[in-house]
């Protein structure tokens, strides 16, 4: 059973102010030029969020709010579907300036989120900061939507063969039918509430 299947019945009992801040952040992300893009738009963001929450399920202790915020922001300022080397820099600026994030995270977490956005397209892995690494891994697992099989060598959190197969399978399902934002936001709030 996936994490999403386990929380579907728990939607309506999350903190209203927290939910409102998440939807305000999403509104800011949607103001980017390619939010409706089939390659790097909102469906992709939802896929990255869902995959990131699955990674957090198998790697307890990750900052699920950072993963969710990364998913919303990381490609929100793309101007081009192909070569756009500054989209990470523009996304980092959104992370640093978005007022809803200041209601959801402290300054240190926002700075780490901005770093994750800034460097996400550089092809690096990050084993020092597991939360940043989880963000990048979620984005890399989402390559399955383009029929690209993710490679364990480029992952940050060191998955064994079984975990790689499971996460690739989950990523295929999530990328084909990404969960809606209300489900993702409630799942992240619930995970934060249990100290995961």
For the stretch 102-107, contacts whose Cβ atoms lie closer than 8 Å and that sit 24 or more positions apart, written own/partner, are 103/17, 103/18, 103/21, 104/18, 104/21, 104/22, 104/25, 104/65, 104/69, 105/65, 105/66, 105/69
Inter-residue contact 117 to 74 (CB < 8 Å): yes
- Mean pLDDT taken over the chain: 91
CA dist 183 and 50 (Å) reads 9
Query: Tens digit of pLDDT for each residue in 91-143?
Result: 999 999 999 999 999 999 999 999 999 999 887 887 899 999 999 999 999 99
Give one word for 75, left, alpha or beta, with left for phi > 0 and alpha for psi -120 to 50: alpha
Q: For the full predicted model, state whether its pTM sits above 0.75.
A: yes
CATH of 14-191, one of 3.30.70.100, 1.10.3210.10, 3.10.50.40, 3.40.718.10: 1.10.3210.10
The residue extents of the domains of the chain are 14-191
Query: Tens digit of pLDDT for each residue in 64-85?
Result: 999 999 999 999 999 999 899 9
């Amino acid at each position: 059973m996936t994490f999403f299947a386990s929380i579907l019945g728990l939607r309506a009992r999350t903190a209203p102010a927290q939910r409102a801040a998440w939807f305000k952040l999403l509104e800011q992300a949607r103001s980017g030029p390619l939010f409706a893009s089939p390659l790097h738009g909102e469906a992709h963001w939802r896929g990255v969020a869902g995959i990131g929450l699955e990674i957090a399920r198998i790697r307890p202790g990750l900052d699920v709010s950072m993963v969710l915020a990364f998913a919303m922001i990381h490609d929100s300022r793309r101007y081009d579907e192909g070569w756009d080397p500054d989209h990470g820099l523009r996304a980092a600026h959104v992370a640093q300036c978005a007022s809803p994030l200041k209601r959801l995270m402290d300054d240190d977490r926002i700075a780490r989120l901005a770093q994750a956005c800034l460097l996400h397209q550089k092809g690096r892995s990050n084993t020092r900061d597991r939360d940043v690494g989880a963000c990048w891994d979620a984005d890399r697992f989402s390559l399955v939507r383009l029929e690209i099989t993710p490679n364990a060598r480029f992952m940050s959190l060191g998955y064994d063969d079984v975990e790689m197969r499971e996460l690739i399978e989950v990523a295929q399902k999530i990328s084909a039918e990404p969960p809606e934002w209300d489900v993702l936001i409630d799942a992240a709030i619930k995970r934060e509430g249990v100290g995961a």
